[in-house]
Structure 1
Amino acid sequence: PSGIGALWAIIIGMFVVVLLLLRVGNTIFNREELLGRQIDQLNLRGSLRKIWRYVRATNDNGTVASNIIQWYRQAIPHSLAKLKMPLMVTIGVFIAAFMLGYIFGQDPQYRLPLPEQTSLENSMTTLGQFLEVANVEEQAFLFIVWQNGRILLAATILAIFSFGVVALVLTSATFAILGYLLSQWVLAGYPIGFLGAALLTHGVIEIPIIIIATAAALRLGAVITHLPKGTSVGHAWITALGDTIKIGVGVVLPGLFIAAIIEAYITPRVIVALMGSG
């Protein structure tokens, strides 16, 4: 059954790719547009200048922000406003992945042999002692930033070559795992409030950042499937890349640093405090 399921998943994936390729073909090779405009020419230096311009742009005309305050007040909101549909798709996929992970965890053959609650409390005591070790929090902070950053960067790069699909697959796996772990936590009879506090302490920042980064990557990969009227493929992709870099530098990267600080320095102490009060 698992082999048949994998086969059907491949068939569905190929069908989606075919539809996207047909969409791209209709968009790029529209006869009227080919006759009415010049075909894009490869100009690496000029393209890089345009990308840098749209990274700083406050609107679609490429008006450059005069300072960082204007950049944050006008340029960033302008780029975020373009993510309405990608955000809806991303959130929907993440919710579906979380639910599938939870349902998967209900299967007895995939249950984890979790310890009794008394053993869990002993583990929390060990965690409290571990936090006293010098530099452990700093090392955890660097690891968290590196881990989250490279996954989102890889998702963004691979999204370019997959119409954004790979970005959804890579990042949604995290939510599927969370759903699975939640199911194991519930089945083991552990207190839900404890898990929620442990995850949401830093998750209130980290989860929205992951959603925004994935939505930006999805838009970047899928932009050529739905070009604005009168816009060339090159221009649409350059503006989308500029928006993606802008969001990455101005929103995602600072958000990852803040979330990592909370996760490394605050979340473990919240866990220990909750177990101590319980």
Structure 2
Amino acid sequence: MLKFSTFLRDLGSIRNALIWSVILFVAGIGAGWVSTGPLQDILLNQIGGLQEVSRQLEQSGNVQLNFFIFIFFNNAIKSVLVIYAGIFFGILPVIFLVINGMVIGFLVNITTDNGASLFDIVVKGLLPHGIIEIPVIIIACAFGLKFGGLASRSLIELGSPKRQGLGKQWETFLKRTLTASCWVIILLFIAAIIESTITFSIVRG
């Protein structure tokens, strides 16, 4: 059940949710890129919080190890949480996708405005770990959206004859979320290693 091939096969069962997750994430990037006013202030606060954490980690004894621990647990906990919090009609996964996309879009935009190379930002700053991390976060959110869709359907079909088959669907889906959670954690573990070593070294020059 926990085989990687099972995880890949399960992705086919949430294909529509994956498509919507990608759309929401890309929309978030676009919104972050053009953000102004109060929205910009919110994003600056988000980035400021991350910068403060980064400063605190840099003052520690083993900087790269502490970065790895923070990155891994922060991403893993949030990603697994967003899968199961999707039961509340998929609201949290939507917010999570849009905000993460907006932060990336805004950060890339202001960095390039300050003279940085877009190629360097993407290839050196995002690609090494992001090639794993970003798809995994999108997948976690897609499972959350699917969870929300199933919860909504169960509520809508309450008392309907169609509801009889939902029990089996819930059982199958919950097994899939278990497999997904395991592989999300494993893949984010790998991404955190890359980000705290390769990306860390590249960005620091």
For this structure pair, what is the TM-score category when the shorter chain's length is used for normalisation? 0.7 to 0.9
TM-score (norm 1): 0.59
Q: Which residue number corresponds to residue 8 of structure 2?
A: 77
Query: Counterparts of 1:99 and 1:271 in 2: how far apart (Å)?
Result: 24
1:217 to 121, 140, 144: 144
Unaligned runs of 5+ in 2: 42-54, 155-161
Deviation at 1:198, TM superposition (A): 0.8
63, 76, 84: which one pairs with 1:149? 76
* Cα offset, 1:226, TM superposition: 4.9
- Counterpart in the other structure of 2:33: 102
Distance 2:164 2:189 in 1: 36
Structure 1's consecutive aligned runs of 4 or more residues displaced over 2 angstroms after TM superposition are 75-78, 224-227, 229-235
> For residues 219 and 204 of structure 1, what CA distance do their matches in structure 2 show?
23
Residue 177 of structure 1 pairs with residue 108 of structure 2: no
For 2:119, the equivalent position in structure 1 comes to: 193
Bigger RCO (CA 8 Å, 6+ sep): 2
Partner of 1:158: 85
Cα offset, 1:173, TM superposition: 0.8
Identity of aligned residues (%): 28
- SS of corresponding position for 2:35: helix
How many positions carry a matched residue from both structures?
182
Contact 1:202–1:262 (Cα < 8 Å) also in 2:
yes
- Indicate which of 263, 268, 277 corresponds to 2:195: 263
| Cα RMSD after superposing both structures | 2.7
Would the aligned equivalents of 2:86 and 2:144 in 1 still touch at CA under 8 Å? yes
| Cα distance per residue 1:73-129 (max 9 Å; x no partner) | 3x2233111121010000000011110011105x6x959xxxxxxxxxxxxxxx9xx
**Contact (CA 8 Å) 1:97, 1:172: kept in 2 or not?**
yes
Higher helix share: 2
Distance 1:85 1:259 in 2: 25
TM alignment of 1:64-143, pairs within 5 A: 71-73=3-5, 75-105=6-36, 110=40, 134-143=61-70
Larger Rg: 1
Q: 2:119, 2:23 → 1: CA distance?
A: 25
Q: Which residue of structure 1 aligns with residue 51 of structure 2?
A: none
Deviation at 1:185, TM superposition (A): 1.4
Letter in 1 for 2:193: I
Deviations 1:164-199 (A, max 9, x none): 121121232111111111221122222222211211
Whole-Å Cα distance in 1 between the matches of residues 121 and 203 of structure 2? 9
